[in-house]
């Protein structure tokens, strides 16, 4: 079932990539997608130090390490504080 999920998620990522290209937005869209499925023994909870396997797929549309850092910062701030106005204001980005 994991393989089916990963395959379908990958198909959706390809659709997003095609949408970006369709609109010729490669230079305007910043994207970073990581989807992972934890492959763990469901009979026991992982303990500190235990390794957990992650089946993952990813895609990104970034031009530089600076853009990567910006994406990571946005994700970190959004995770910690879901107030989107505050998040975007600190980065000089507006939704208007």
* pTM to 2 decimal places: 0.66
Kindly state whether residues 4 and 33 are assigned to the same domain: yes
Kindly state whether residues 13 and 53 are assigned to the same domain: yes
Q: Among 14, 52, 57, which residue's Cα sits nearest to residue 35?
A: 57
Dist CA 5 CA 39 (whole Å): 13
Query: For residue 32, what are the β-bridge partners?
Result: 60
Mean pLDDT by 10 residues, the chain (96 residues): 92 96 95 88 60 86 93 85 61 58
Q: Containing domain of residue 87, as a range?
A: 62-96
Number of domains observed in the structure of the chain: 2
Rg of the Cα atoms in the chain: 17
> What's the confidence (pLDDT) of residue 46?
58
> What's the confidence (pLDDT) of residue 63?
92
């Amino acid at each position: 079932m994991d393989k089916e999920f990963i395959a379908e998620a990958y198909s959706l990522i390809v659709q997003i990539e095609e949408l970006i290209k369709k609109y010729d937005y490669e230079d305007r869209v910043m994207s970073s997608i990581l989807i992972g499925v934890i492959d763990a023994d469901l009979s026991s909870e992982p303990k500190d130090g235990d390794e957990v396997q992650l089946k993952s797929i990813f895609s990104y549309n970034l031009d530089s390490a600076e853009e990567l850092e910006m994406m990571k910062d946005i994700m970190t701030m959004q995770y910690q504080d879901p107030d989107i106005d505050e998040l975007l204001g600190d980065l000089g980005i507006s939704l208007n």
